Structure 1
Amino acid sequence: MEADGRLKDVRLPDSTACRLSSFRSHSLSLEAPRIALIGNYPPRRCGIATFTGDVHEKLTRFHPEVSVDLYALEDPDRPLKYPPIAGTISRADPQSYLQAAQRINRSAVDVVWLQHEYGIFGGTYGDMVCDFVDMLAAPLILTPHTVLADPDPKQRAILEHLIARSSRIMVMSAYSRDLLAESYGAPHELLDIVHHGAPYRPFGRQAEFKARLGLSDRNVLMTFGLLSPGKGLELVIEALPEIVRQHPRTIYRIVGATHPHLLASEGEAYREKLLLLAEELGVSGHIEWDARFLDTDELLDQLEACDIYLTPYLNLQQSTSGTLSYAVALGKAVIATPYLHARELLTDGVGCLVEPDSASAIMHTVCHLLDNPEELQSLQRRAYERGRETIWPRFADKTVKVIESAIAHRKETATSDATHPGLSGVFAMCDSVGILQHATGIVPERAHGYCLDDNARALMLMNVTNGLSRDDRMRRSLTFASFLQDAWNEETNHFRNFMGFDRCWAEAQGSDDSNGRALRALGHTLRHSTDPGLRRWAKRLYDTALPLTMTLDCPRATAFAMLGAVDTLHILPDHGASYDLLSEGASFLHRLLDVSRRPDWAWFETVLGYDNPRLSEALIEAGLILENKDFIEAGVESLLWISKQQVSENGWFSPVGSDSFSKPYRHLPFDQQPLEALAAIEAAKSGYAATANSSWLDHANKAWSWFFGANDRGVSLADLTTGRCRDGINPRGANENCGAESILAFQLSYYAMAAMPEER
């Protein structure tokens, strides 16, 4: 921390006057989006690497306004030398995923685009990818290259987890789209079909490229790609004797290296098996082998020399084939088994589908096309025309639209001196008992009943709101005060928390946190209520309940109770029990901070939970009243640290998400909840009181702006007209429900901002 209590390294300008009229949010220009692209990458030799490399190159060429940071998955057993890229991720090292996620978050990219295949990530079926995406703050575009119709439970869980984290899901076939929606629960509105991209080259140049290969007078059949069982190449070899008998000038070219994984486990056993089969059938002289992994230009040159392209795959569930896309785009007559991608791409006479696992079907189809040159050329022309839909410029255009859909459009918003949140959204959640907990959308849910936490916050809102007449405010205050009164259980000397809609308490004693919050609300009422009778009631119940603090061992519950004591001491400076609570509570929090602190973790606990800034706020406020510089310094230092964690590299408020709660020494971005913005605002006020540094006022303004779109998803959560607030931000955007906690957090945030000092 800086000597003057400035928010060091949080990138907060210190020139913001936080008067009510200057509440604002941050805007984002999307004219030059920046993405982080993650997957295998050349020089690694596999289909995912080729695709990721193509995406990188084509976006850069056809949409130079898009900035691409490339992160390649690295296999430590087969290290490669990559060209200059943003970074690598060691596929089996959890720490490497953490470091990459932190780097991506710090880089403030607008979106992350993840290529997913089960085999390329570390862990069981590649499950390390799940923790990785949980750490990413930017919207996620998912491209699943394999969508299994019958996955095992682990495979299903991984893909469902990725789907739940995705803002857009880009697939390359209608089959994959439908399967994801019907079997994996992916929302239809998030699914985009962008067919595999393919190169653009002029049509009909076979003669030119045959001549280059010395094949001018030959009928050229071809298959290319990484060699492995399942490609069905033995079927074509079995069909060759009859094809050659009818068309002796035919040659079959098999182009491609053996798949690296197969090579590592079995060597060239599969290729040798095919060579032996060709020898036995007497067609070795009609097969050319090019056992290399070719660069794209050379591969396309060889593909142009082809008349008929064959993909006799045995796996009919293959939903994407880059080789098929290439062949169609170059205007090749394609013969394929009816695997998924072929069934979609070769419709309307674009190609020939043949019976699977049938050398005879391949033979008859090849011979028919060679017997009928005009039909062969017509088929090639139809393929070429279909390929115009998938050439790389069109692919790049479509992917940019997906990127734009994934990136939230953040707009400038503001409030004015005359505007305060309406209260209709608050009172829609209320009845004669109190305020209901939850809602589906904006409709209150009776099934979940009521809780002390929300009614305590509702009472605090009535203490400060200026949107009601004196009589209306008193009537509402009494409803919420009555709930607190009834929650007090004399038998346990604690407050209850949960009440069913039937008005029956669900427990004899509520949580420590709910008890701490009740004490805080009572102290707040004693300090801020305008009604003398309500203040006297609050004082009596506060004194009655205060001994329960002796049983509290939860840091947050202690902090809530301490804040109630702070309010009490502002009205009753000689209230000895409150003074003792502050002294003991501050000592407790100070000890926790000393025990848990480490060089990169200046916090009270090894995990980050909810309402984090409340711990620092309570310690600062206690230090100010007790005139204890150690407490003030520790509180400010810890508040600086947690504030830094909650400001994104883009400069907006990014609160600790609920996914962080069980993760030691981790900060995960989702789900974000309105209560965190309220805590940040009120704690920032304490930071300003302790340091007089205006950066705290700016931090409060960032937390306020979070409600209006200055957030990781660019979604507006709050409605000033009704005073409602949605329940937070998840990886896909806003949680549309408007529960009591969220509505009250927004309302109280407004009044906390209104009470901020004017910077002079």
Structure 2
Amino acid sequence: MSDLRKIAVIGNYLPRRCGLATFTTDLCDAIAGHMEDEADNLLAVAMDDIAEGYGYPDRVKFQVRANVPSDYLCAADFLNLHRFDVAILQHEFGIFGGSYGAHIIHMLKNLRMPVITTLHTVLENPTEEQRKITRELASYSEALVVMAHKARSLLMEVYDIDDGKIVYIPHGIPDVKPDSSGTFSRQLGLEGRRILLTFGLLSPGKGIEGMINAMPAILERHPDAVFIILGETHPHIKMEHGDSYRQSLFQQVRRLGLKESVLFHNRFVDIETLTKYINAADVYVSPYLNKEQIVSGTLAYAMGLGAAIVATPYWYAEELLADGRGITVPFGNVETMAKEICSLLANDKKRQAICKKAYTMGRSMVWEEVGKDYIALADEALKRTKDRPIPQITERSDARIIYELPDVNLQHLRVMTDDTGILQHAKYSMADRHHGYCVDDNARALIVAGMHYSLFQDKSVIPLIQTYLSFMHHAFSPETGRFRNFMSYERIWLEDAGSEDSQARSIWGLGVAVKYAPNASIRNMAASLFLEGLNAMETFTAPRSWAFGILGLHAYMEVFGGDANARRLRQDLAEKLFDLFAKCSSKDWPWCEETVTYANAKIPHALILAGQWIPDPEMHKTGLLALEWLLERQTAPEGHLSIIGNADWHNRDGRSATFDQQPIEVMCLIEACAEAFRSTGDIKWMEEAKRSLGWFLGRNDLGEQVCDLETGGCCDGIEAIGVNANQGAESTLSWLISLLTMYEIMGDEVLVER
């Protein structure tokens, strides 16, 4: 008798609109049909990609914000508390937070039950990070479910995963009989037309343009043909680009004079409506452009309902349509696509034979059978683990470190920001209007808002991004090519040009804005301003301005990597910085100046980045050694961080100021440690970043908390007489950048092989 009673399914869930949400919902329904008291014993854990979440049905008992690491551990605790027997995870790299979705590994490490993982993507040429994530999934799963036999061979050959851990269960389909009555065609107003259909969330890469280009040739032989493109624009595409992709297809249709023959049905349909569309179609078209497509729910549905299919030869199509169950045509071959579709429209006998074979094959794929397969696999996994420990239980302490990260609170950032920009100073936690604004702080605020949007997809920060970017646009003087820095509260500029450092910080902020822009309009504005301000960097002589410039160039080139001038400048600046070390450093003073002053870790940070780009191993090594030295010089005998104060800096003769310690120094250390960790994979840099963050939380010379978790602000540093209680912009932004950086790299920690 089976001991299996309670199952949890983890993945996206309807009404979130994506293929994986549909799959997870249908799988839960299929499993529920084979369970007793399913309302109490089957639940879903849903992944949210928007801050407000979705209006889920009662089955969803827990929601995980994709980019909030602690949510993954809370979800694990929730499932453990309610003693679920088995968890079934739906895996796609893009739905989880962290580098390549690494946050999900933290959940798996904390689950006290066997896990079955369904892989919706298996890549033939993964990045090293993707390969590690997949192997981690395998190590914490009792079974990996694949929906194509090709995926099994890839897991064995590319990922070195044992065949015994891999189980084939087909993609489920609704159990609906073919209907050739033509009723739905009449409802669509297409009675007597030959319907060609494709469906799914609209996005580039699905080959729709090619099919539209094939329509003139099809219409020459079958003037009654009509091509229906069914589906909304993918929510993520629409969020970033609006409906520009759909509009480009509209324009293509108009140029070709196909307005009456290509129809856009712009809606997300339920299964009942979808099956009506498929039954009404004479030919279903799946013209994907990516050969490595290992599964397609839309193709599975169409084949299972007995549609005549013409598809490009992506892996899943080759497998599903083999043995006469459909037709494949070469990628990008519009002529052959048109020819094969015409042959099916002209030969009902051939088309019906394909439909019959497809429908017969689909009987083994109906959700009722798939649900049975998952129940059987879950039962087997539970039996196998009954008398042996589950591997992840022994690693709980490693994952719990995420709980040390406080929530990101932007309350004080908003308090300090008006419709001009972020104010520079504060009295306690209130903005001090006796002082005005500066471009330095608005550049840093732009970084905070961009990082926050990238991590949490929180649309409420977009107006903040626009405010800070607008301030920087106003700060730039086309006549001088320089950013002005200080503005009074009355909006009067107090100088014609800022310092080299403020110009370079502006370049840094704008580069990050390009990288993290929530839409094309903001990205274009930031890139334009970035390029205008870049020219002045050519003649700068301050080392920190070079370092800030390198960081901005790095971020900018993550989007515009082909910019030859930017590539040249980043190398020039990096070599200038590196040359300073050759001239000034020694074994006991591995530094580029005679005095260690301010924003110090930005210099090794820039060398670590540039050493990877060029590449220059010695430059990279020099950056790591300088960072290590800075950390050693700023470590108290008790082991906590003791920052070099700006009262008198730190001289080569050994004299070092203890106060005033500034949050910006800690921020620079954390960012540099994060890059050192990314570039080396050495866990010691992660530990140093965590130790540095502790300075804000009370692990410092005074033993007092510097950040204010209630307001979201940060005090203006540590003085000999205590913590400076004013929560100014620079300090608050330093705290927020530090915390957001930790959120960014925490997901990367699971990629390190210990």
More deviation, 658-667/252-261: 658-667
Helix, strand or coil for the counterpart of 2:153? helix
Counterparts of 1:662 and 1:654 in 2: how far apart (Å)?
Answer: 13
Match 1:212 to one of 166, 187, 199: 187
Q: Give the drift of 1:31.
A: 4.8
Q: Give the drift of 1:119.
A: 1.0
User: Counterpart in 2 of 1:368?
Assistant: 343
User: Counterpart in 1 of 2:92?
Assistant: 117
Helix, strand or coil for the counterpart of 1:226? coil
The residue correspondences of 1:91-490 to structure 2 (distance < 5 A) are 91-408=66-383
Contact 2:124/2:154, CA 8 A, preserved across alignment: yes
CA separation of 1:356 and 1:76: change in aligned 2, threshold 3 A = closer
Counterparts of 1:263 and 1:665 in 2: how far apart (Å)?
Answer: 32
Match 1:75 to one of 26, 46, 49: 49
User: Counterpart in 2 of 1:40?
Assistant: 12
Q: Give the drift of 1:228.
A: 0.6
CA separation of 1:124 and 1:378: change in aligned 2, threshold 3 A = same
Counterparts of 2:168 and 2:91 in 1: how far apart (Å)?
Answer: 16
CA separation of 1:405 and 1:32: change in aligned 2, threshold 3 A = closer
Helix, strand or coil for the counterpart of 1:114? strand
Contact 1:206/1:306, CA 8 A, preserved across alignment: no
Contact 1:70/1:87, CA 8 A, preserved across alignment: yes
Deviation sequence 1:297-348 (CA, Å, 0-9, x none):
1111122111100001000100000000100111100000000110111010
Counterparts of 1:162 and 1:653 in 2: how far apart (Å)?
Answer: 14
More contact order relative to length (CA 8 Å, sep ≥ 6): 1
CA separation of 1:654 and 1:106: change in aligned 2, threshold 3 A = farther
User: Counterpart in 2 of 1:53?
Assistant: 25
Q: Give the drift of 1:666.
A: 8.6
Output the amino acid matched with 2:397.
Answer: S
Counterparts of 1:357 and 1:95 in 2: how far apart (Å)?
Answer: 45
Report the identity percentage: 36
User: Counterpart in 1 of 2:439?
Assistant: none
Q: Give the drift of 1:60.
A: 1.1
Counterparts of 2:17 and 2:284 in 1: how far apart (Å)?
Answer: 22
CA separation of 1:244 and 1:404: change in aligned 2, threshold 3 A = same
Q: Give the drift of 1:61.
A: 2.4
Match 2:397 to one of 660, 663, 688: 660
Counterparts of 1:199 and 1:101 in 2: how far apart (Å)?
Answer: 31
Contact 2:10/2:46, CA 8 A, preserved across alignment: yes
TM-score normalised to the size of structure 2? 0.51
Q: Give the drift of 1:30.
A: 2.8
User: Counterpart in 1 of 2:415?
Assistant: none
Counterparts of 2:104 and 2:392 in 1: how far apart (Å)?
Answer: 23
4+ residue runs of structure 1 moved beyond 4 angstroms? 62-66, 409-412, 652-656, 661-667
Counterparts of 1:304 and 1:287 in 2: how far apart (Å)?
Answer: 19
Helix, strand or coil for the counterpart of 1:335? strand
Query: Could you say which structure has the larger radius of gyration?
Result: 1
Output the amino acid matched with 1:127.
Answer: A
Output the amino acid matched with 1:113.
Answer: I
Q: Give the drift of 1:660.
A: 3.0
CA separation of 1:345 and 1:63: change in aligned 2, threshold 3 A = farther
Deviation sequence 1:137-192 (CA, Å, 0-9, x none):
10010111111111111111111111111101111001111111121122111111
The residue correspondences of 1:507-586 to structure 2 (distance < 5 A) are none
Q: Give the drift of 1:252.
A: 0.5
Counterparts of 1:665 and 1:353 in 2: how far apart (Å)?
Answer: 48
CA separation of 1:663 and 1:290: change in aligned 2, threshold 3 A = closer
Counterparts of 2:390 and 2:297 in 1: how far apart (Å)?
Answer: 42
Contact 2:201/2:232, CA 8 A, preserved across alignment: yes
The residue correspondences of 1:735-746 to structure 2 (distance < 5 A) are none
Q: Give the drift of 1:195.
A: 1.0
CA separation of 1:364 and 1:158: change in aligned 2, threshold 3 A = same
**Gap regions ≥5 residues in structure 2:** 405-754
Output the amino acid matched with 1:124.
Answer: S
Helix, strand or coil for the counterpart of 1:186? coil
More deviation, 298-307/329-338: 298-307
Output the amino acid matched with 1:74.
Answer: D
Counterparts of 2:390 and 2:136 in 1: how far apart (Å)?
Answer: 26
Counterparts of 1:128 and 1:665 in 2: how far apart (Å)?
Answer: 10
Deviation sequence 1:464-520 (CA, Å, 0-9, x none):
xxxxxxxxxxxxxxxxxxxxxxxxxxxxxxxxxxxxxxxxxxxxxxxxxxxxxxxxx
CA separation of 1:355 and 1:277: change in aligned 2, threshold 3 A = same
Number of residue pairs aligned between Structure 1 and Structure 2: 400
Q: Give the drift of 1:225.
A: 0.1
Q: Give the drift of 1:213.
A: 2.0
The residue correspondences of 1:607-622 to structure 2 (distance < 5 A) are none
Output the amino acid matched with 1:257.
Answer: E
**Gap regions ≥5 residues in structure 1:** 1-28, 413-651, 668-760
Deviation sequence 1:228-256 (CA, Å, 0-9, x none):
11110111111111111111111101000
CA separation of 1:661 and 1:226: change in aligned 2, threshold 3 A = closer
Output the amino acid matched with 2:80.
Answer: N
TM-score normalised to the size of structure 1? 0.51
Contact 2:4/2:85, CA 8 A, preserved across alignment: no
